[in-house]
């Protein structure tokens, strides 16, 4: 199973990805997680990505495409994967098509979480509070002002990725404003 999860930041992609991991036994490939790990480790990629991530902008297509190309070559991704946070631009989607084409494999579905953007700032504030209460690190970009920049980046560069997949018939729209378990049910049903 090869899946893509699309939707603005705070739409629930990470939460739902964890449930797909449990069901299908395939890894969640979150470019955000990979980039945060690179920043924490101080790698050359991390050094380049740090400032742009903290400001809420998008890391360059070149860097992100390189990370994903390496990651999908790893053994655990051979059976399938759930892409979370990638592709975020049409150029990334085109690059992914090329990568998969070269490997002779196809995507099974692209799930788009449809959400009311006005509700997202509240969700992000809650995510930051919950992380803090659990003693986990709070993401620097889960700040209401930075979040607005992330949402603007989504609307400018990423919103057009869903129509790209709609043309291929792979896109499945899921109402992401429902309770978490209901979203999971809708998602599993859409995957058949
Ligand atoms: P996320 O965890 O998906 O919200 O990503 C956090 C941040 O990492 C984003 O705001 C971007 O700065 C960067 N990022 C993650 N994935 C991508 C991507 N596919 N393309 C460009 N930047 C990305």
Is 62 part of a structural domain of the chain?
no
Mutate which of 55, 85, 91, 152 to test ligand 1's pocket (most atoms within 8 Å of Cβ)?
A: 85
Q: What predicted TM-score, i.e. pTM, was given to this entire model?
A: 0.95
Is 33 part of a structural domain of the chain?
no
Q: Which domain holds residue 152?
A: 2-26+79-191
How many structural domains does the chain have?
1
Using a 6 Å cutoff on CB, does residue 52 contact ligand 1? yes
What pLDDT is attached to residue 180? 97
Is 19 part of a structural domain of the chain?
yes
Is 170 part of a structural domain of the chain?
yes
Find the CATH number of the domain harbouring 86: 3.40.50.300
| Long-range Cβ contacts of 178-183 (<8 Å, 24+ apart) | 180/12, 180/15, 180/16, 183/12, 183/16, 183/113
Mutate which of 59, 82, 128, 147 to test ligand 1's pocket (most atoms within 8 Å of Cβ)?
A: 59
Is 45 part of a structural domain of the chain?
no
Is 32 part of a structural domain of the chain?
no
Is 35 part of a structural domain of the chain?
no
pLDDT digit string (tens) for 124-180?
899 899 999 999 988 889 999 999 999 999 999 999 999 999 999 999 999 999 999
Is 38 part of a structural domain of the chain?
no
């Amino acid at each position: 199973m090869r899946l893509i999860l699309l939707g603005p930041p705070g739409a629930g992609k990470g939460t739902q990805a964890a449930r797909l991991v449990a069901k299908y036994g395939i890894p969640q490939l979150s470019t955000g997680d990979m980039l945060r790990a690179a920043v924490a480790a101080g790698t050359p990629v991390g050094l380049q990505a740090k400032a742009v991530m903290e400001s809420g902008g998008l890391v360059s297509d070149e860097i992100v495409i390189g990370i994903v190309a390496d990651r999908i070559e790893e053994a655990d991704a051979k059976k399938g994967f759930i892409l979370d946070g990638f592709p975020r631009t049409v150029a990334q989607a085109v690059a992914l098509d090329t990568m998969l084409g070269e490997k002779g494999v196809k995507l099974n579905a692209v799930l788009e979480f449809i959400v009311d953007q006005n509700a997202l700032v509240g969700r992000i504030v809650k995510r930051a509070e919950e992380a803090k209460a659990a003693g986990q690190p709070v993401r620097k970009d889960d700040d209401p002002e930075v979040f607005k920049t992330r949402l603007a980046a989504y609307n400018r560069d990423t919103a057009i990725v869903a129509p790209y997949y709609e043309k291929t018939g792979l896109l499945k729209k899921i109402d992401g404003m429902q309770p978490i378990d209901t979203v999971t049910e809708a998602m599993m049903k859409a995957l058949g």
